Amino acid sequence: MMRALILGGTADANLLAETIAQAGLEAVYSYGGRTRAPAGQKLPTRIGGFGGVTGLSDYLRREGITHVIDATHPFAAEMSGNAVMACAETGTPLLALERAPWVRTAGDNWIEVADITSAVAALPERRVRVFLAIGRQHIAPFGARPQHAYTLRFVDPPEGALPLPDADVIVSRGPFTIDDEFETLRSRAIEWIVARNSGGAGARAKIDAARVLGLPVIMLARPQLPDRPRVESIAEVMEWLGHRACLGA
Ligand code: 3Y8
Ligand code: NAP
């Protein structure tokens, strides 16, 4: 009897969960517990870490999971690494649903960097207005450049003081439209954007708006993920699950 675990937390994972629920397949959706009120799911849902590789292996055995789909974010490197190890340990088939990275096009003014430290160093010395659209987990290193006026965007309201003397927070969970992004960038006179190369559509609008406005984007490259089978479409995941759903019919 098939029972799939979806490692979720992304728009793509939500669409996959919808398709699996419609096909009547047995599956569990898993959130990492990063946000206060994650979007609801039709599938049974669990929230929070498993407890490392061992915790995930125990979960797979205990719950009789027969297939794991890693539909987490391309920057969720620890979760993806744990999934590769736990699935190898338990002999559970694993497939990653991974969205292609955004590719610089004509007119994009990108400064591509490998990590947060390089992103901080890429900002100019003179005070500028910077939009940090990278969530809350990686804000502290920008404290090394306190001279700038920062606009941050979080899914949930910040708890406690921010590590930046001149910062205001937009609380919004996205996905974002191009009109949203023009409004945000113009109303706050943003001059620089820091973004992660997440891929997909949900975070893309700020990149398109930046191109139109000619703003420089410091683009964080994805972390190296372990080698594992991967697809980019939900149809391929459903086929892998042995289900030729009449998708989109
Ligand atoms: C908890 C699930 C849906 C899914 C919405 C997508 C789109 C909007 C764009 C910006 C960039 C960022 C961030 C972002 C986007 C979608 C999608 C996407 C980027 C939720 C969600 C969870 C999270 C966790 C959250 C992180 C943060 C990252 C904000 C739910 C809403 C920056 C990614 O404030 C925080 O603590 C935020 C934490 C992890 C990145 C980080 O590392 O800080 N996502 N985002 C997941 C879990 O608990 O397992 O709450 O419902 C999902 C979505 N976030 O409903 O259609 O394509 O997935 N999420 C990035 O770097 O691009 C925002 O602001 O322009
Ligand atoms: P991470 O750094 O790779 O993971 C850190 C730890 O969080 C993992 O080792 C695991 O804890 C737990 N975890 C992460 N994702 C989990 C999941 N789906 N289910 C159960 N536990 C999970 O991950 P992250 O970058 O913080 O991302 C956390 C979540 O937010 C993921 O679901 C990811 O998809 C989502 N996210 C979404 C976006 C977006 O743009 N949509 C961006 C970033 C992150 P244990 O070791 O204890 O098991």
Task: Identify the burial level of 137 via C-beta atoms within 10 angstroms of its C-beta, where 0-12 means exposed, 13-18 middle and 19 or more buried.
Answer: exposed
- DSSP classification of residue 140: G
* Distance separating alpha carbons of residues 8 and 231, to the nearest angstrom: 15
Q: Is the CB of 7 under 6 A from ligand 2?
A: yes
Q: Is the CB of 204 under 6 A from ligand 1?
A: no
> Across the chain, what does the average pLDDT equal?
95
* Distance separating alpha carbons of residues 33 and 171, to the nearest angstrom: 17
Reported as a single tens digit per residue, the pLDDT across 60-71 is 999 999 999 999
pLDDT at 17: 98
pLDDT at 247: 52
* Distance separating alpha carbons of residues 192 and 161, to the nearest angstrom: 23
Reported as a single tens digit per residue, the pLDDT across 141-176 is 999 999 999 999 999 999 989 999 999 999 999 899
Sign of CA dihedral 36, 38, 44, 46: negative
Which residue ranges make up each domain of the chain?
A: 4-99+224-240, 110-220
pLDDT at 249: 42
Q: Is the CB of 86 under 6 A from ligand 2?
A: no
Q: Is the CB of 35 under 6 A from ligand 1?
A: yes
Rounded average pLDDT over 101-117? 97
Map tokens 């690494």 to a residue. 81
> What CATH number belongs to 4-99+224-240?
3.40.50.720
Give the residue whose CA is nearest to atom 26 of ligand 2.
76
* Distance separating alpha carbons of residues 182 and 159, to the nearest angstrom: 27
Give the residue whose CA is nearest to atom 65 of ligand 1.
133
pTM of this prediction exceeds 0.85: yes
How many CB atoms sit inside 10 A of residue 95's CB?
20
Task: Compute the half-sphere exposure of residue 241: CA atoms within 13 Å on the CB side of its CA.
Answer: 32
Binning pLDDT at 50, 70 and 90, where does residue 243 land? confident
**Residue of 5, 15, 34 with the most ligand 1 atoms within 8 Å of its CB, for mutation:** 34
Identical fold for domains 4-99+224-240 and 110-220, yes or no, is yes
Reported as a single tens digit per residue, the pLDDT across 186-242 is 999 999 999 999 999 989 999 999 999 999 999 999 999 999 999 999 999 999 999
Distance 76 CA to ligand 2 centre (A): 5
Reported as a single tens digit per residue, the pLDDT across 113-129 is 999 999 999 999 999 99
**Minimum-distance ligand 1 atom for the alpha carbon of 39:** 51
Picking from 65, 72, 89, 63, the residue whose alpha carbon sits closest to that of residue 31 is 72
Looking at domain 110-220, its CATH architecture is: 3-Layer(aba) Sandwich (3.40)
Question: 245 pLDDT exceeds 70?
Answer: no
* Distance separating alpha carbons of residues 157 and 171, to the nearest angstrom: 6
Rounded average pLDDT over 22-28? 97
**Minimum-distance ligand 1 atom for the alpha carbon of 10:** 58
